[in-house]
Chains A and B, each alone.
Chain A
């Protein structure tokens, strides 16, 4: 996908915890001004990809059934979203784990817990570094 220097607007969040989805909506929509699509599972995310057309995907790592890395793997299998930048969000941030996630094709890892007031800034930073 070649979005070029487009500014970031549409973000998809894949997260099984309802509380975190709710707080992320606040952090990214109300505070950050993004358009957010939240998905409660990897499968839902895959179903929604074509319709929502995210510019960036945020993935929780530890989820039941289909975890973050598996979801990303499945997204990479699609033709249209094979290159969509993905960020993992995880409570595990050992250095070796981070490099492992990056190796799996994520552009960055955001440690949990995140601060809802600064999450948007962090994501913009990451986005800008990609452009």
Chain B
């Protein structure tokens, strides 16, 4: 099939899949309600046969739409009902035996297996505050039976820029909501009793348990049941927010890998790329090795998957050749080869490869292997370009971004804004509460910026407690509003140390980027505005040139 046709079929399949999921969701809901009814009454007036048929349909159809696990579970449940259907006993005790707790729980967890997609979550406990348009706050679900605690926690997390939704238990948590979440926070006792079904799902976000008892056996138990994290009460919200942030960024890193596949076999090339694309990765296909250098510069992959022998070209030689260029010395090159001889493999690695995948490789294995390696490659790349504490760009890189953006603005006559941020009285925080607490405050602001700004905005840690931000295609008015929100929210975050709660404010200076001759001058102007804000009482935003002219007599705004 042609690419075009393939894409068309895939698109239509995805549509059918969505339709199937929606129908299956309501069907499962009906099924569960009906079975609960029969169980409660102890009388079956045909509902069990209907449930049997419904499960049979799911067993036969779910797999076709990619819900293999749902199909298998439905099949198992269908088999449980089968003897009952074929017999003619429907006594009360028989019904109660058939629809026992285990059965009901398994029915209840079926819809969990449909957990995929991107439908808007419902029931907001703390509606997200309006940020800049186009900003999607990470969704955190709080599953907590105690409504007071749930409200407290939701409110506290919302100030950190998360969209928080609360649910009293896992049954009331719609799967479509679960699928949109970045993290689930869950009462540990609840997780022990009903979390297993949740964490078993493919699309389930990381689950962090919240508990009041902390000990080795408790932690071990949660880990054994599949929890991704544990935090002990009383909760330190900034620590928790940072923890959530880390889980989210790890998760984001996994899906969005970029891969170049080099293989002279057109069919294999097509196949591998389909597998990886379906797994959510960005793929560039290269059939002729001579096109590889161009594709590399253009596509900038995390990793290269390369066949070892391609016509007259050898993969190992190509790898060695790529390493000529300092830019690609750190690039991860993985060979795909049917050669199982370890000596040969080691030899190939010594010539510039990083790893081997032995053909034939299953689709699932290929995808997982590529994901893991992309993830590692990104982690390493981050170490080099990102500030280790905040995960933001390092000083030199963010400055480069300003210069790049300045050139872009000039070229396309667009408006952008550069802003300098500095935490107020930060030295006092460090002196009073220690550096570890100080670090948390810095991370707090970093995370807030990440949530409040757009994906296209550039955020860097410029100095100790100084941040530099570039807002491309942004008017000074919009930037002002956004950054004022950041100030307000920062002020609302309660940090605690040594039993004391305290708040930290931030001062911000900003300037338009394109009105300056050089990017560096815009940074300098933002810095001057910041200085003025500091002397004007801190905690707020000052625009360079607002209400005054700069040294050259030119209105800067």
Contact = CB atoms under 8 A, between A and B. Distances in A.
B13 A19 contact: no
A122 interface: no
B376 interface: no
A62 interface: yes
Given A26-B9, A26-B16, A19 B65 contact: yes
Interface in A90-125: 90-92, 112-117
A89 B63 CA distance: 14
Interface stretch (B53-61, B105-113, B219-227): B53-61
Contacts of B53: 62
Contacts of B5: 30
A26 B65 CA distance: 12
B113 to A, nearest CB: 14
B23 to A, nearest CB: 7
A112 B75 CA distance: 11
Nearest to A119: B64
A26 B20 contact: no
B71 A113 contact: yes
Contacts of B417: none
Interface in B41-78: 53, 56-57, 59-65, 68, 71, 75
- Is chain B's binding surface mostly helix, strand, loop or mixed? helix
B64 A114 contact: yes
B19 interface: yes
B12 A19 contact: no
B148 interface: no
Nearest to B57: A17
B213 interface: no
Contact of B62 (A92, A113, A115, A117): A113
Nearest to A33: B1
Contacts of B16: 19, 22-23, 26
A90 B59 CA distance: 10
B8 interface: yes
B64 A112 contact: yes
Contacts of A90: 60
B117 to A, nearest CB: 16
A31 interface: yes
Contact of B56 (A30, A31, A62): A62
B9 A113 contact: no
Nearest to A115: B64
A69 to B, nearest CB: 16
Given A17-B57, A22-B16, A91-B75, A112 B63 contact: yes
Contact of B65 (A23, A89, A91): A23
Contacts of A114: 63-64
B19 A30 contact: no
Nearest to B20: A19
Q: How large is the interface on B (under 10, 10 to 19, 20 to 34, 35 or more residues)?
A: 20 to 34
Nearest to A30: B9
A30 B12 contact: yes
Contacts of B56: 62, 91-92
Contacts of B71: 113
Nearest to B63: A113
A100 B16 CA distance: 32
Nearest to B61: A20
Contacts of A22: 16, 19
Interface in B1-24: 1, 5, 8-9, 12-13, 16, 19-20, 23
B60 A116 contact: no
B19 A91 contact: no
B421 to A, nearest CB: 52
A90 to B, nearest CB: 7
Nearest to B74: A91
Nearest to A60: B60
A90 B23 CA distance: 20
Given A62-B53, A91-B56, A112 B61 contact: yes
A114 B68 CA distance: 11
A26 B20 CA distance: 14
B23 A19 contact: yes
Interface of A: 17, 19-20, 22-23, 26, 30-31, 62, 89-92, 112-117
Given A19-B65, A90-B60, A91-B57, 15 more contacts: A19-B16, A20-B60, A22-B16, A23-B64, A26-B13, A30-B5, A62-B57, A89-B60, A91-B60, A91-B75, A112-B63, A113-B64, A113-B68, A113-B71, A117-B9
